[in-house]
Amino acid sequence: MNRIDQKFQEDKKLLSIYFSAGFPNLEDTLPILKNLEAAGVDMVEIGLPFSDPLADGPTIQESSTQALRNGMTTEKLFTQLNGIREHINIPLVLMGYFNPMMQYGIEKFLQRCSALGIDGLIIPDLPVDVYHEEYKSLFDKYGLYNMFLITPQTSEERIRYIDQVSNGFIYMVSSAAVTGAQNTFGNTQTDYFKRIAKMTLKTPTVVGFGISNAETYEAASKYSRGAIIGSAFIKFLEENGVDQIGKFVKSIRD
């Protein structure tokens, strides 16, 4: 069974963390992963940096730019993840834009991910329809999940379609916005969370974008299976360093 499915069978709200690989330092990938798992994080999205991440806000873009300056490449990340399953048991998702994967070669990319023990991918600029028609069979061949985003503007019909095509989880974007930390959620967001919960989709949902503290984490996971934190974690890393990761996770969950 895919580790993502296994994780969603646990009877708890999940906390997933995103970070840009190669940031703050090129070789931080493994220490970050180890510290996140030790702190009790349920799942990790490893960001493959891209020069033009147009779905992301300033925090993630800057960390990506810095990671690229540090020398991060697709091949470098794969090298860092070599043997990762000897250390890390939680589900690992690679999150990145489609162009670097195309240049690596889609099949070769998926083959590498699979061999390393990556469980799935999130590719914001690969639309569900294109995935369904052109790439799904390749993902299936290598046993990799592909997760899709939905937003408050996504029509019910399209959500149903995404639910049919999805495995793993559906990534619910909390608001019509690029990534970035927010302090609270308003009624519109809560209504949207409730609306999706009522649809009783076959695929579990996880909320991301704008989650920054215990309050927003709790609000987001109340109507879903959990939440993903990216920008707020990256800011914390930048200010406090890799050793302090446990503190960050504690501040969200306690």
Partner 1 sequence: MNYNVDEKGYYGDFGGAFIPEMLYPNVDELRKNYLKITAEPEFKKEFDALLKDYVGRPTPLYFAKRLSERYKTKIYLKREDLCHTGAHKVNNTIGQILLAKRLGKTRVIAETGAGQHGVATATVCALMGIECIVYMGELDIKRQAPNVARMKMLGAEVRSAQSGSKTLKDATNEAIRDWINNPVDTHYIIGSVVGPHPYPDMVARFQSVISEETKWQLEALEGRDYPDHVIACVGGGSNAAGLYYHYLNDQRVNIIAVEAAGKGIDSGESAATSALGKEGIIHGSKTLLMQTPDGQITEPYSISAGLDYPGVGPMHAHLFRSKRAEFISIPDQEAMDWGLTLSQMEGIIPAIETAHAFAALDVRKFEPEEIIVFNCSGRGDKDLETYIDYFKL
Residues designated as active site: 45, 56
Binder of partner 1 out of 30, 34, 100, 106 (CB under 8 A): 100
Distance from C-alpha of 79 to C-alpha of 75, rounded to nearest angstrom? 6
Q: Which residue number, 171 or 248, has a Cβ lying nearer to partner 1?
A: 171
What is the four-CA torsion angle of 82, 86, 87, 88, rounded to 10 degrees? 90
- The nearer residue to partner 1, 25 or 151, going by C-beta atoms, is 151
Q: Is 156 in the site for partner 1 (CB under 8 A)?
A: no
Handedness of CA 246, 244, 32, 224 (dihedral sign): positive
Out of 155, 183, 187, 200, name the contact with partner 1 by CB under 8 A: 155
Report which residue type is found at 88.
I
Is 104 exposed, middle or buried, given 0-12, 13-18 or 19+ CB atoms closer than 10 A? middle
By the rule CB under 8 A, 82 interacts with partner 1: no
Rg (C-alpha) for the chain, rounded Å, is 17
Count the Cβ atoms, other than its own, within 10 Å of residue 186: 10
Residue 152 or 246: the one with the smaller Cβ distance to partner 1 is 152
Residue 88 engages partner 1 in binding (rule: CB under 8 A): no
Mutual angle of helices 231-240 and 58-70, in 10-degree steps:
50
Helix or strand run (H / E) with residue 127:
none
CA separation, residue 212 to residues 15, 94, 221 (Å): 12, 21, 13
- Tell whether residue 246 is a contact of partner 1 (CB under 8 A): no
Among residues 230 and 252, whose Cβ is nearest to partner 1?
A: 230
Interaxial angle between packed helices 231-240 and 245-253, expressed in degrees from 0 to 180 and rounded to the nearest 10: 140
Which region, judged by CB under 8 A, interacts with partner 1, from 12-20, 36-44, 100-108, 245-253? 100-108
**199 sits near partner 1 (criterion: CB under 8 A):** no
150 φ, ψ to 5°?
A: -130, 155
Residue 84 in tokens: 């990762």
Interface with partner 1 includes 178 (CB under 8 A)?
yes
Q: How far is the CB of 88 from partner 1 (least distance, A)?
A: 25
26 binds partner 1 (CB under 8 A): no
Q: Per CB under 8 A, does 6 bind partner 1?
A: no
**Site mask for partner 1 (CB under 8 A), range 123-152, x = bound:** -xxxxx-x-----------------xxxx-
Q: Name which of 151, 150, 23 is nearest 76 in CA terms.
A: 23
Stretch that binds partner 1, among 27-35, 67-75, 231-239, 243-251 (CB under 8 A): 67-75
Structure tokens at 99: 């162009």
Using the contact rule CB under 8 A, the part of the chain among 23-31, 34-42, 91-99, 192-200 near partner 1 is 91-99
Contacting positions for partner 1 (CB under 8 A): 50-52, 54-55, 57-58, 61-62, 65, 68, 73-75, 97-104, 124-128, 130, 148-151, 153-155, 158, 173, 176-178
